[in-house]
Structure 1
Amino acid sequence: MEGPRPGGTGPSALPVRRRADEAGGMETATFETLVGEAVRAPSLNNSQPWRFRRLGDTVEVLLDLDRVPPDADPAGRLSRVACGAAAFNLSLGMAVRGRSVTIRPTTEDLVVARLVAAPHRPATPVQRRLYRVLPARHSNRSEFDDTPVPAAIRDELVRAARDEGCRLDLLADPSTVDTVAAIALLPRATDPVLGVLSGPGDRRDDAVRAGVALQRVLLTATAERLAVSVFSGPVVEPGIRERLRTAVGHGHPPQLVLRFGYAPALAPTARRNISSFVYE
């Protein structure tokens, strides 16, 4: 989903005036730090199609329509996936700072998710582990080596998606691998591992849930020192997407094709100034 893209030039890319801490519940410095962590999420062509707004103890994730790629993402579904991934990062940052929240995806036009206060509970060891590797996560399009991914790590990746209400199929059958690789225009290979992330449905809020699951999977892979490539091409055109669904062999709508393996680390792609993401 990521790739080089310069900062936007439309109105939504300009710095906005931030209010004083009249909303209550969170200091400006804390909010900006959280936003800076949230935007480490992946997005199609590094489009960064998100904005963030605090309303008391609630934080809203908004879709920045000026940043949705019209040709590569005509329905805005992949941009909602990206916003869901950013929401997951935000929830981790809040959890480790003692703010328990629940992510509530929506079907609204602009507000795609709300992070609402939940009964207080300490951050879990998993949340702390994923938060620690958040700065290191990035998509890796370099050549992977042929080191097999251990079965225990594969199981952990599958479980990460399932824990967020989605499904990650790591392909093992050679025929299915060949078919999906051909659909995604990738070289045929079982190591690195080829996988398909599917959502619970195909509504707007399901795309956000898929983004939450995507980021949890990506951070889990990062914690295990795996490289990951994310491919959105096979899920943009409806006919190709249906071929992918048929190849995987279940009724859940595919959201992305992922490749897991081992490769040299690369530098993460740049992000815009934090002020361009804050909506007041």
Structure 2
Amino acid sequence: MMTTTTPATWNPAVFTAAVGDAVQAPSIHNSQPWRFRLGDDGIEVMLDERRRLAAADADGRMARISCGAAVFNLRLGLAVSGLPARLGLGSGPVLVHLRPARPRPPTPTEARLHWQIPRRHTNRGAFADVPVDPCGPHQLMAAARGEGAWLDFVTDDAALVSLAELIRDADARLRADAAYTAELRAWSTGADHRVEGIGALAAGAAPHPAELLTRRDFGGPGRAMTCDVARRPVVAVLGVLGDDSDDALRAGLALQNVLLTAADLGLATAMYSQPIEVPATRERLRAAVGRIHDPQLVLRFGYAPTTCYTNRRPVTDVIDP
């Protein structure tokens, strides 16, 4: 019978299993910029500065979003163990400190989303020309709001074309930077045989000039014509009420809630961070969506076949003693 007392901390087996869930979160270039430590009073989640991308993520925004997504998975893993966590912001190198809450069974939503953790993956290929159920966006917006974020869907054709132009412009600016392209190749070339980065099998085809939404080029094979046949892509912009480093972390929590909810709805998701990585384009995007604070990510939802998953480092590589 489950006790109602608050545990002193999680045991190593529960902690290790939850970290195994955490590392399934997405990260820019699959850089996996996180570390975890189990202490006497809880779990600390830290940003691994050695894995922050100097060219694509100079201010560390995307790394913190990635860590926030990992924290969401970690929290789900602890919840389904029957020992949920209270989340508090850390200080210095510690981003988040999780402390035990009262034991309880997981909620049905926690159980469903946890089941999707190993099944969710980023779609870097084509989407089917199949309309998304109109109820889907409402459920995704609710998932974002559950973590204090906003998810604005772009429903106007002219606005969608304008957003596509911002993505295309940001991608071109980034590719014109030699340091950026060298970093991108370092995290993609040969990654099929590594536990990090984006390998050719997961990269999808090279972006085609006729694509509406320009994907990042991870070195996939070129094609004579675009394979993206979806005529009405479902696209949204994710953000939170704030622009500092803690807000980027909260955006990551919301992002993972949205991604797992999408997976639970049978939807594939693609992510476009290029317009966020270029400050001038980010400002134009903020003005376009009419928000006070910076957007954190552009997301696309739809139906697509399962493609290759990216690899992950062993759990033992991301746990500090």
TM above 0.5? yes
Amino acid in structure 2 at the alignment position of 1:216: N
Say if 2:109 is the partner of 1:131: no
Q: What displacement does 1:118 show?
A: 2.4
CA distance in 1, matches of 2:114, 2:9: 22
Kindly report which structure 2 residues correspond to 1:107-118, keeping only aligned pairs within 5 A, or say none: 108-118=91-101
CA distance in 1, matches of 2:111, 2:147: 17
Structure-1 residue corresponding to 2:220: none
SS at match of 1:136: coil
Structure-1 residue corresponding to 2:158: 175
CA distance in 2, matches of 1:85, 1:165: 14
After TM superposition, the runs of 4+ consecutive aligned structure 1 residues lying more than 3 A away are none
Preserved contact between residue 87 and residue 212 of structure 1 (Cα < 8 Å): yes
Preserved contact between residue 165 and residue 213 of structure 1 (Cα < 8 Å): yes
1:120-164 CA distance string (max 9 Å, x none): 443111111000111001100111011111111110001000110
Q: What displacement does 1:35 show?
A: 0.9
Q: What displacement does 1:191 show?
A: 2.6
Q: What displacement does 1:174 show?
A: 1.3
Amino acid in structure 2 at the alignment position of 1:128: A
Q: What displacement does 1:114 show?
A: 1.5
Output the TM-score relative to the length of structure 2. Answer: 0.77
Structure-1 residue corresponding to 2:66: 82
Greater shift in the superposed pair: 45-54 or 141-150: 141-150
Preserved contact between residue 14 and residue 78 of structure 2 (Cα < 8 Å): no
Structure-2 residue corresponding to 1:214: 255
CA distance in 2, matches of 1:103, 1:83: 13
SS at match of 2:141: helix
Identity of aligned residues (%): 46
1:19-42 CA distance string (max 9 Å, x none): xxxxx7333232222111100000
Task: Pick the aligned partner of 2:272 from 231, 235, 243.
Answer: 231
Kindly report which structure 2 residues correspond to 1:1-280, keeping only aligned pairs within 5 A, or say none: 25-106=9-90, 108-185=91-168, 187=212, 191-280=232-321
Structure-1 residue corresponding to 2:187: none
- Give the greater-gyration-radius structure (CA): 2
CA distance in 2, matches of 1:55, 1:46: 27
5+ residue gaps, structure 2? 1-7, 169-210, 214-229
CA distance in 1, matches of 2:77, 2:243: 28
5+ residue gaps, structure 1? 1-23
CA distance in 1, matches of 2:25, 2:316: 17
CA distance in 2, matches of 1:111, 1:264: 38
Preserved contact between residue 23 and residue 70 of structure 2 (Cα < 8 Å): yes
Q: What displacement does 1:273 show?
A: 1.5
Amino acid in structure 2 at the alignment position of 1:131: H
Q: What displacement does 1:57 show?
A: 4.2
Structure-1 residue corresponding to 2:194: none
CA distance in 2, matches of 1:251, 1:117: 35
Preserved contact between residue 105 and residue 209 of structure 1 (Cα < 8 Å): no
Amino acid in structure 1 at the alignment position of 2:212: P
Aligned residues: 256
CA distance in 2, matches of 1:53, 1:241: 34
Preserved contact between residue 43 and residue 82 of structure 1 (Cα < 8 Å): yes
Amino acid in structure 2 at the alignment position of 1:73: D
CA distance in 1, matches of 2:101, 2:14: 18
